[in-house]
């Protein structure tokens, strides 16, 4: 998944310069010309990092930052302040605002990239284009935690994947492994002694060959301060203890941009098929939704005119299932793809309990669904 960088600056020149500097990386640069628009974009897009101008008309950087920090959804978003004013008082004031870093204009492009790279994992475009790993590819995960029960939960939770889990108890052992072996992702306990997880993050980021290894933190649900600190430091996310396997897998997938579309989508006999799994959960909704539009457009581009949604593995129909199907059917309709649903009689009946499903076409099998749409 691309890193989202939001640049809030009244100068179009600076916004264009920022966009240019990050072009070689797998980034999406979002622009806002003032603080009000910036807050709206931040709220909508949830950027990974914000580059915020200090001196702006309409709403200055100080006020924008205060509003970001007051928003529960955005308060952990790291901010790097850009300012043309490097006076001691300004610098002290900026530091007190809780920004991750600040950069004085004029600045060199490589300095900006380096500062942003300390906070988020920048990957070169060509590295991304080369290969996006799939969910079922082998992946090396390093767990750093001194509690055997937690390590056990991670290993058990990922046992049905092709991922290899290695564990160590201490920060220095983790550094050694990251430097000496291929580690795709580090999962570190945030309660490690001596601030071990944060130390490890900073160590990895300060060395070129380990700088791009993403880190997820682990903590109990109530340790909100620990979690916020980890995210402010630059961790890609936090997994709660006790470990929920589905949540862990989803966060690993998101962090490593693992390709998972094949789990849900396939082209079959000229139709696009969407198969919803038995263990339907919010991760499924998120993953299917993220691929949906692209898959539908590809299907329509290739001359397809049918969408078949397979509900046969689903055990019960819930509102999220109906909502997901509705959005798929509506999106398909916009591309002139006709849609049918395969499901058991019991599931069909459950679907029909919802008012929005009355016009849906149901069939028992894929072949019957195709025939229905001819």
Partner 1 sequence: MNKQMEQIDQLTREAVKEVFETMLSMEVNPEPPSPLMPDPAGDIIGSVGFVGEATGIIYLYAGMGFARIIAGRMLGIPEAEVDSGEMVTDAIGELSNMVVGYVKSRLCNSGLPCILTIPSVIRGQQLSVEGSAQVTRRAIGFRNCTHHLLAEVLLKESTTTKL
Choices 12-20, 125-133, 161-169, 246-254; region in contact with partner 1 by CB under 8 A: 12-20
- The rounded distance, in Å, linking the Cα atoms of 159 and 323 is 31
Rg, Å, the chain Cα set: 23
Q: What is the pairing mode between strands 49-53 and 265-268?
A: unpaired
Residue 7 C-beta: closest distance to partner 1, Å: 13
- The rounded distance, in Å, linking the Cα atoms of 133 and 341 is 30
Residue 53 C-beta: closest distance to partner 1, Å: 10
Which of 85, 269, 356, 367 binds partner 1 (CB under 8 A)? It is 85
- The contact pattern for partner 1, residues 30-69, with x = CB under 8 A and - = no contact, is -------------------------x-x------------
CA distances from 187 to 77, 191, 248, 349 (A): 20, 12, 10, 44
Residue with tokens 């299917």: 288
Which of 44, 72, 89, 222 binds partner 1 (CB under 8 A)? It is 89
Size of the residue set binding partner 1 (CB under 8 A): 22
Per the CB < 8 A criterion, the answer to whether 33 and 9 are in contact is yes
Which of 16, 76, 113, 155 binds partner 1 (CB under 8 A)? It is 16
- Measured at the CA of 19, the angle between CA 15 and CA 22, to 5 degrees, comes to 140
Per the CB < 8 A criterion, the answer to whether 213 and 185 are in contact is yes
Choices 9-17, 117-125, 205-213, 223-231; region in contact with partner 1 by CB under 8 A: 9-17
Site membership for partner 1, residue 17 (CB under 8 A): yes
Judged by CB under 8 A, the chain residues 245 through 264 that form the site for partner 1 are none
Which tokens hold the place of 177? 């492994």
Which of 70, 72, 88, 359 binds partner 1 (CB under 8 A)? It is 88
Site membership for partner 1, residue 125 (CB under 8 A): no
Site membership for partner 1, residue 301 (CB under 8 A): no
Which tokens hold the place of 251? 């966060």
| Contacting positions for partner 1 (CB under 8 A) | 11-14, 16-17, 20, 55, 57, 83-90, 104-108
């Amino acid at each position: 998944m691309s890193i989202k960088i939001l640049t809030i600056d009244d100068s179009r020149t600076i916004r264009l310069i920022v966009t240019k500097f990050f072009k070689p990386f797998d980034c999406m640069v979002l622009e806002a010309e003032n603080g009000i628009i910036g807050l709206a974009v931040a709220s909508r897009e949830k950027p990974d990092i914000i580059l915020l101008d200090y001196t702006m008309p309409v709403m200055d950087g100080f006020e924008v930052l205060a509003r970001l920090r007051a928003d529960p959804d955005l308060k952990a978003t790291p901010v790097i302040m850009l300012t043309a004013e490097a006076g001691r008082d300004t610098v002290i004031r900026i530091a007190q605002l809780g920004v991750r870093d600040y950069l004085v204009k004029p600045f060199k492009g490589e300095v900006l990239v380096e500062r942003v790279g300390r906070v988020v994992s920048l990957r070169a475009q060509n590295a991304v284009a080369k290969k996006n790993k799939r969910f079922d590819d082998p992946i090396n995960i390093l767990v750093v935690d001194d509690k055997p029960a937690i390590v056990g939960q991670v290993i058990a939770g990922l046992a049905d994947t092709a991922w290899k889990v290695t564990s160590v108890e201490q920060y220095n052992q983790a550094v050694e492994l990251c430097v000496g072996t291929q580690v795709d992702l580090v999962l570190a306990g945030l309660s490690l002694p001596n601030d071990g997880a944060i130390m490890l993050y900073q160590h990895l980021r300060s060395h070129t060959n380990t700088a791009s290894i993403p880190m997820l933190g682990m903590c109990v649900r109530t340790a909100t301060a620990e979690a916020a600190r980890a995210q402010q430091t630059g961790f890609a996310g936090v997994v709660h203890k006790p470990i929920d396997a589905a949540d862990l897998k989803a966060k690993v997938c998101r962090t490593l941009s693992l390709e998972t579309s094949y789990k849900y989508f396939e082209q079959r006999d000229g139709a696009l098929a969407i198969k919803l799994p038995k263990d339907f959960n919010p991760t499924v909704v998120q993953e299917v939704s993220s691929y949906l539009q692209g898959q539908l457009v590809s299907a329509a581009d290739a001359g397809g005119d049918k969408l078949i949604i397979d509900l046969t593995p689903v055990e019960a129909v819930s509102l999220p299932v109906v909502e997901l199907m509705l959005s798929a059917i509506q999106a398909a309709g916009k591309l002139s793809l006709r849609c049918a649903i395969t499901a058991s009689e019991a599931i069909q009946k459950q679907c029909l309990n919802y008012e929005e499903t009355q016009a849906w076409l149901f069939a028992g099998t894929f072949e019957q669904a195709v025939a229905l749409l001819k």
